[in-house]
Amino acid sequence: MALLLSPPKLVLLAVHLAVKADIDGLAALAAHHGAILRKELLLRIILTYLPEALQSSEYVSFIQQLERGAFPEKETKNIDSSVVGGLTEDEARKRVKKLRLLPLTAPGDIAEAAKDVTTQFLLCRAYRVDEEAGLLTELPALLTPFLDHAPCIRTLMVSTLLPLLRRNCEYHTERPISYTLLGFQQLPDEVAVNLLLSQTGSREEDLPFVGRDLRGLIGPWLLNEKRWKGRGLSPAAGQDSAKTGLCPGWGHVLTWLTAQAASSWKVAVNAIAQWEGPSDIDLGGLGENWLGDEEQIYLKQTYARAALASAYLISDASTEALEGAYELVAKTATLLDQDPLSPLHTAVGMLPPLAQQITDEVTFARNATYMRNDLLDSSNILTSPSPSPVVFLQAVILSAFILTRSGCPISVRRAGDLALFQDEREQKSEASKLIHGIVNNNHKTDDRFWIKVRNEVLWLRDWGMEDESVSPDTPGRGVFGQVKREFLEVEILKAFLANNRFTLARSIYEDSPSAPLSKKILQDTIYNTAMTAYDNASNPNRTRGGLKKCDDIIKAFPKTAEKSLPATQRIEALLRATHALSEYRLVLKQSEPFTPVVLRVHPDPVSIVGKILEQNPKSYTRIQDLLDLGTQMVKAGLTTPSPKRGGAKLPSDEEDKQQQAQELSLVERRITALTIDAALAEDDFETAYSYVVNRVSALSPLETDEYSWKAALQTGKYRRTAKTLRPTHLGTSSANVEIRHLEQRIDCLSTALRIAPPPTLQEILNAFRRAEEELDAAIKAEQEEEDAWDAAGDTIQGHHHGHGSTMPGGFEHHHTKSHAHVHKHASGGTGAQQSRGRQQQTEEAPMSLFDLSRASVLSAQKNFSALSSLSLHRSVSSVSSQHSGSGTGTGRASLDQSTISVGSDGEEHGHGQPKRARKRDQLREAALGSLVSGVGWLVGAPAPAQHQSRDGDSD
């Protein structure tokens, strides 16, 4: 029923309800007075008077109803209109005129917002909630339901609110940005970028989250059309400078990135290593990247240019810094869809031929200035996102790394100067310092080291030139390019002789006309080549493609790459592990098939087993295969952090063998836990329980790990659902599936308690207590159901075979229901023990002779009663059924009959002395007595005469 109020009073009442945050009342009022309380008026009232501190979830549904113009049917009689009931019409109109309702005008020049009052309200409300109440966290709940209502709402949510909210309330809460939502939205691009990234990588512990900041802050922030100059550029737009390119805001991001490379190179390296570029955006499920192909090309190319520029700007001359610079180059090759670069240590061991991949225009001496100036400019040939500059920088970094590791530290820029200027004096000076430093600072006596030194020094001259037609005296392109090869060979020979490497020197410089490799070098070549083939393989099947080639290389040299060598064993184990993966469907990244190199360089290869279990249903049943896979991973060295894992390695000492045994045990337990989790995820509790009982429970409490007890705990916490696979057999367990399940859960929790570390015991004990309570409740419910079933059966028999006097041969029962109830609650033992006892009794006890006799007596009584044609006042017999707490424990009920006699005059004599039995009663009792005498003795039933005698004595 609508309120009979004038329009001014209705407006005042709506304002009153908004002030009181009575959304239900306001909705009811709007539903019945929509002609007066129009959408725009209500939105202005809410914007002005609804408290900003009110949670958005309280009124966002009302805004949706208001937008649709459909309200649920609600009565307005519960609305208190007394606040305006006492006002006259004039007073009401005056108060309405005094209302200062805020206009629905959002700041800015958003065109689509001006056409829709709801959009204007949402924008204004968002700004007011942030400015007045500071509740930035309430805005997602307000705006998310309306993301598809208007593009400007999604833009505000994604490019402004989401970065600001993450920056202040999630990523760096200790130092938030002191700007409101509107203030941050109006900031210049450069200021906004610096504020968003002001705390990124500021501390050492924040380095792992640099990519997260770029992905979650900069990525969404770029998705604002105001930050883009135009659309529809040609693919050549990617060559534009970041400073004057398509997106000036993106240029400021690249400027920040290169500045970090110059001042704190670890931030830049982690940023580029962890972030795939602007296409790698975390929008939190609020939409998709709407950038077109032209924008994507522009962003990828400029990002690759910034990565190359950052590598040149790293001024630290340390192996760690050079490893970071090399990582930037490898990432650049990936961004440009070039062939992936080998890892740094692998590349140093292989000394790849790079000279022929570098064009002449890159190696001009005048290009040295580009290593210092205009690094992001499109005219800079050294940072151009193309193959030749990438290979050149790779060679420069490898050269700097070789020199630095050998005791002659130089930076990337210094190595570039040596390669570009080609000053013979400087190059010869550096070469002499390198070789003399190796001789003076290293005392290694194995041939492999000195052969490696020779190969590296020669490679530094020509960067792996393979053209045999070129004269050895022809200058190379490397950092020692102007130094003659003869000079380098002499210096190397001196170093060999100074370290007593006579055999090696003779084999290289005297015995071999074509400089053949020694066995040690051949082994290195075999292993490196084999692992390169492995890295380039695309199929994990060892009988095909790259893995077959890797396997063939190893088997082609049985004397050099003997099976007893640790490197050969590791590669064989690696091949077996990789081949085992070919039996499963496996995708580690979306739309990217699994490749063998992923296994070898994966930081946590055992986690791949978890991916297998996720992507292959029922694969958890092949636990032995998965355990064998884990064993091969350990033998392949994949679980041991090492820059050369999976490759050549010196034989392990006793400590390494002990460590491998520990790793084998840990990996086995971890994979077992993974299979248990997978079984639970597929609702196969029985299999998970089997693994816990047969594998996890066998662990010693001294063998602690972080996987086994968690798996046992999760199994113990599992609750049956409709999807849970039913057991195929029960064995000796309870027939009650629920009780059996609870008992199994308790077994799992017991195992978790035994092997879990002490700090986690409280959580397990809580789960254990809850499971015991549920088990006790289930046992009690089952017992009550059995009692009710027996009582119902006895009651039905009593009613169907009722008789007027105590039946001859009746069996006395001296326990009442109350006695049974007291006895049941006084019985000791735990709930699980009681359940198992009852279940065993119920399953094992056949029908007793007592029950057989009782059934026979009742049947006889019924038949003889039917023979009598005389009218007879029937006596009421009461049957009491109870489960015995001791004795046989069969749970059968016994008859407890009491006689109630009724006289012919209709008076009830109760338990007093009955009247003299009549002839027909005597006949019936005689017949029943004959039957009882035949079967009653089996259960010790009293004879009818004795029964009557006791009745007489009781009188």
| Model pLDDT, residue 705 | 83
Nearest CA to 301 out of 277, 326, 275 is that of 277
| Model pLDDT, residue 460 | 94
3-state secondary structure 555-585: HCCCCCCCCCCHHHHHHHHHHHHHHHHCCCC
Nearest CA to 499 out of 443, 436, 433 is that of 443
Tens of pLDDT, residue by residue over 792-801, are 888 876 655 5
State the pLDDT confidence band at 245, using cuts at 50, 70 and 90: low
Q: Are 8 and 93 in contact (CB under 8 A)?
A: yes
3-state secondary structure 271-288: HHHHCCCCCCCCCCCCCC
**Where does residue 287 rank: exposed (0-12), middle (13-18), buried (19+ CB within 10 A)?**
middle
| Model pLDDT, residue 472 | 58
Tens of pLDDT, residue by residue over 942-953, are 544 444 444 444
Q: Are 239 and 176 in contact (CB under 8 A)?
A: no
User: 158-167, 283-292, 369-378, 753-762: which range is least confident on average?
Assistant: 283-292
486 contact partners, CB below 8 Å, separation of at least 6: 472, 473
| C-beta atoms surrounding 771 within 10 Å | 24
The two three-digit tokens of residue 103, written as one number = 């206009």
Tens of pLDDT, residue by residue over 562-585, are 787 888 889 899 999 999 999 998
Q: How far apart are CA 245 and CA 506, in angstroms?
A: 61
The H or E element containing residue 110 is: none
The H or E element containing residue 705 is: none
Asked whether residue 243 carries a pLDDT value surpassing 80, the answer given is no
Asked whether residue 301 carries a pLDDT value surpassing 90, the answer given is yes
Nearest 5°: CA angle at 517, between 514 and 518?
A: 130
Long-range contacts of 865-869 (CB under 8 A, 24+ apart): 865/803, 865/924, 867/924, 868/920, 868/924
The two three-digit tokens of residue 801, written as one number = 């075979």
Rounded-to-10 torsion of CA 806, 809, 815, 818: -40
Mean pLDDT of 334-339: 90
Radius of gyration of the chain (CA): 44
Q: How far apart are CA 710 and CA 140, in angstroms?
A: 35
384 contact partners, CB below 8 Å, separation of at least 6: 239, 305, 378
Asked whether residue 826 carries a pLDDT value surpassing 50, the answer given is no
State the pLDDT confidence band at 468, using cuts at 50, 70 and 90: low
Asked whether residue 837 carries a pLDDT value surpassing 60, the answer given is no
| C-beta atoms surrounding 874 within 10 Å | 12
Asked whether residue 489 carries a pLDDT value surpassing 90, the answer given is no
* Helix 708-717, helix 761-800: angle, nearest 10: 30
Asked whether residue 845 carries a pLDDT value surpassing 80, the answer given is no
Highest mean pLDDT among 6-10, 545-549, 847-851, 944-948: 6-10
Calculate the CA 727 to chain-centre distance: 29
Asked whether residue 373 carries a pLDDT value surpassing 80, the answer given is yes
User: 493-507, 667-681, 782-796: which range is least confident on average?
Assistant: 493-507
Q: Are 476 and 461 in contact (CB under 8 A)?
A: yes
Q: Are 711 and 692 in contact (CB under 8 A)?
A: yes
Asked whether residue 920 carries a pLDDT value surpassing 50, the answer given is no
Mean pLDDT of 924-933: 47
| Model pLDDT, residue 212 | 94
The identity of residue 352, as a single letter, is: P
DSSP character string of 899-911: ---B-TTS-B-TT
The two three-digit tokens of residue 439, written as one number = 């001789």
Give the side-chain half-sphere CA count within 13 A for 600.
29
Asked whether residue 201 carries a pLDDT value surpassing 60, the answer given is yes
The two three-digit tokens of residue 569, written as one number = 């064993």
| Model pLDDT, residue 577 | 93
Q: How far apart are CA 405 and CA 402, in angstroms?
A: 5
| Model pLDDT, residue 332 | 94
Rounded-to-10 torsion of CA 469, 470, 473, 478: -150
Tens of pLDDT, residue by residue over 44-63, are 999 999 999 999 999 999 99
User: 355-364, 899-908, 945-954: which range is least confident on average?
Assistant: 899-908
389 contact partners, CB below 8 Å, separation of at least 6: 308, 362, 381, 382, 383
Task: Give me the count of residues in the chain.
Answer: 955
The identity of residue 618, as a single letter, is: K
Q: How far apart are CA 122 and CA 750, in angstroms?
A: 55
| Model pLDDT, residue 122 | 92
User: 65-74, 93-102, 421-430, 767-776: which range is least confident on average?
Assistant: 65-74
Indicate the pTM of the whole model: 0.54
692 contact partners, CB below 8 Å, separation of at least 6: 676, 711, 712, 715, 747, 748, 751
The two three-digit tokens of residue 948, written as one number = 């009557």
Calculate the CA 382 to chain-centre distance: 42
510 contact partners, CB below 8 Å, separation of at least 6: none
φ, ψ of residue 75 in degrees (nearest 5): -80, 140
Nearest CA to 286 out of 157, 469, 443 is that of 157
| Model pLDDT, residue 184 | 92
Mean pLDDT of 175-195: 91
User: 672-676, 705-709, 852-856: which range is least confident on average?
Assistant: 852-856
Mean of per-residue pLDDT scores for the chain: 77
Q: Give the SS3 label for residue 589.
A: strand
Query: What distance, in Å, lies between the first and last C-alpha atoms of the chain?
Result: 77
Asked whether residue 872 carries a pLDDT value surpassing 70, the answer given is no
| Model pLDDT, residue 793 | 80
| Model pLDDT, residue 442 | 66
C-alpha distances in angstroms, 563 versus 4, 555, 557, 572? 98, 9, 10, 9
Asked whether residue 238 carries a pLDDT value surpassing 70, the answer given is no
Of 474 and 759, the structure prediction assigns the larger pLDDT to: 759
Calculate the CA 154 to chain-centre distance: 28
User: 435-444, 555-564, 883-892: which range is least confident on average?
Assistant: 883-892
| Model pLDDT, residue 233 | 42
| Model pLDDT, residue 645 | 46
User: 612-616, 719-723, 743-747, 812-816: which range is least confident on average?
Assistant: 812-816
Q: Are 703 and 755 in contact (CB under 8 A)?
A: yes
Q: Give the SS3 label for residue 102.
A: coil
Q: Are 123 and 106 in contact (CB under 8 A)?
A: yes
Q: How far apart are CA 106 and CA 123, in angstroms?
A: 6
The two three-digit tokens of residue 23, written as one number = 């959304």
φ, ψ of residue 592 in degrees (nearest 5): -120, 115
Long-range contacts of 615-618 (CB under 8 A, 24+ apart): 615/584, 615/585, 615/586, 615/587, 616/584, 616/585, 616/586, 617/682, 618/682
| Model pLDDT, residue 588 | 82
Nearest CA to 218 out of 254, 200, 193 is that of 193
DSSP state for residue 482 in the 8-state scheme:
T
C-alpha distances in angstroms, 408 versus 348, 403, 435, 464, 648? 16, 5, 9, 21, 26
Of 564 and 355, the structure prediction assigns the larger pLDDT to: 355
Q: Give the SS3 label for residue 820.
A: helix
User: 30-39, 139-148, 443-452, 870-879: which range is least confident on average?
Assistant: 870-879
Q: How far apart are CA 910 and CA 902, in angstroms?
A: 8
Tens of pLDDT, residue by residue over 251-267, are 999 999 999 999 999 99
| Model pLDDT, residue 548 | 83
Asked whether residue 398 carries a pLDDT value surpassing 60, the answer given is yes
